[in-house]
Structure 1
Amino acid sequence: MMKKIVGAIWRKLSPLARLKIVRVTQTKFTASVAAIVENENGEILLLDHVLRPDSGWGIPGGFLGYGEQPAEAVRRELIEETGLELEMVEMVRVRVVNRHIEILFRAKAKGFASVKSHEINSARWFKVDEMPEKMNQTQKLIIKSLLKNGL
C-alpha cells in the first residue's frame, strides 16, 4: 500500500524535483584517476606532490572534472603535471575507499618527465625495487602487485 502511494507521488513530481530528491538522499562520492606509468626502461614514474606532504612520493593522478571521461582525465593530469603524453592507457582497477572512488590505469610513456605544475615538487623515474622509502605504502603494494601480474 505504502509503495503505491509513494510511487504515485513520485510520478507526479517533475523530473527536476526527482533529480533534487535523488541528489539529497543518495550517498555522494568523489572520484579521481591515477596511473602507473612505465617508460621504455621498465621504470615507474613517481611524483613528489606538494598537496600530499605526509605520504611523500606517489603515482600521478587527480580528480575527474565534471563530465570528463576517466581515460581523458588521466591523460590530462599527466600533461598538466609532467608534460608527458601517454602512448597507451588501460584501466586496471577501481578502488573504493570510504566515499572516494579511484580509477587506476596502467600507461606507457616516452620522454623526460618535468615538473609542470605548482602541485608537484619533483618527478622521477624509479626502478620498482628502488622506489623511495617515503612513499604511500598502498600505492607501492599496488604497483608491485600489478607488475607481478603483468603490467
Structure 2
Amino acid sequence: MRYPINFCQVCGGPMSDRLAYGKTRRVCSTCGFIYFEDPKVAVAVFIEHEDRILLVRRANNPERGKWALPAGYMDAGEDPREAAAREVREETGLEVEILTLAQVMGPNEFGTSLILIYTARATGGDACPQDDVDALCWLGRADNPPDLAFDSTRVMIAAWKNGA
C-alpha cells in the first residue's frame, strides 16, 4: 500500500491530482512540481548447492512463517547484483557469487513493482538464519516444497524441478 503524497517535497505546497505526461499524477498547486512514483524493486536469489536449493522462513510479515528465496528490497543507488548478495548475507550469513539474472517478475500483491531474481553460488560463510529469517532449509528436487510465500519462489522452484 502506497501512502498519498499530500504536500510538495520541494516547497511544501498542497498536492493535487492532475494529468501530467499522459497519466494522473500528484502535482504541486504552488510550484508545479510533479511527483513521479518510483517502482519498488526487490531482488531474490536462487542458490543451488549439491542439487538442493536454499530457502528461508520469513520471521516477519508479509507471509510470516512461510518459505521463500532469500530476498529483499534494493536501496536507492544500489547495484542490483550487490543488493542481491547483500540480502543473502543479511538473511543467511552466506557470501555468494551472483551468476545470472534468471527472471524478472512483477508487480505483486505485497507492494513490489519489480522483482529481479538472480542465480548464485555460495562462496563462503556459514549458513544460519539472521535478520528477518528464523530458519533455513535446503530443498532437494524430490522434496515437496514447504508452504511458500511468493510467486517468484514458486516459479523458480517449478522451473528447477522441471530441469530448466
Shorter-chain TM-score tier? 0.7 to 0.9
Match in the other structure for 2:142: 129
Higher relative contact order (CA 8 A, sep 6+): 1
Please state which structure has a larger fraction of its residues in helix: 1
Runs ≥4 residues deviating over 4 A: none
State the SS of the aligned residue for 1:97.
Answer: coil
**Which letter maps to 1:94?**
V
Pair 1:108–1:62, CA change in 2 (3 A): same
Matched, 1:116 2:126: no
> Would the aligned equivalents of 1:35 and 1:104 in 2 still touch at CA under 8 Å?
yes
Identity of aligned residues (%): 26
What secondary structure, in the 3-state scheme, does the structure 2 residue paired with 1:85 have?
Answer: strand
Secondary structure of the corresponding residue to residue 75 of structure 1: helix
Confirm or deny that 1:143 pairs with 2:152. no
Query: Does the CA contact (< 8 Å) of 1:55 and 1:135 recur in 2?
Result: no
Q: Greater Rg, structure 1 or structure 2? A: 1
What's 2:70 paired with?
60
Tell me the number of residue pairs that the alignment of Structure 1 and Structure 2 aligns: 128
Q: Normalized against structure 2, the TM-score is what?
A: 0.67
Stretches of structure 2 lacking an aligned partner (at least 5 in a row): 1-30
Aligned counterparts of 2:141 and 2:86: Cα–Cα separation in 1: 25
Residues 85, 98 of structure 2: 8 Å contact kept: no
- Correspondence 1:1-150 to 2 at 5 A: 20-21=33-34, 24=35, 26-39=36-49, 41-51=50-60, 52-54=62-64, 56-97=66-107, 100-109=113-122, 112-117=126-131, 119-136=132-149, 138=151, 139-146=153-160, 148-150=162-164
- TM superposition score normalised by structure 1: 0.73
| Larger strand proportion of the pair | 2
Q: Which structure 1 segments of 5+ residues have no match?
A: 1-16
Helix, strand or coil at the partner of 2:148 = coil
Equivalent-residue separation in structure 1 for 2:155 and 2:57 (angstroms):
18
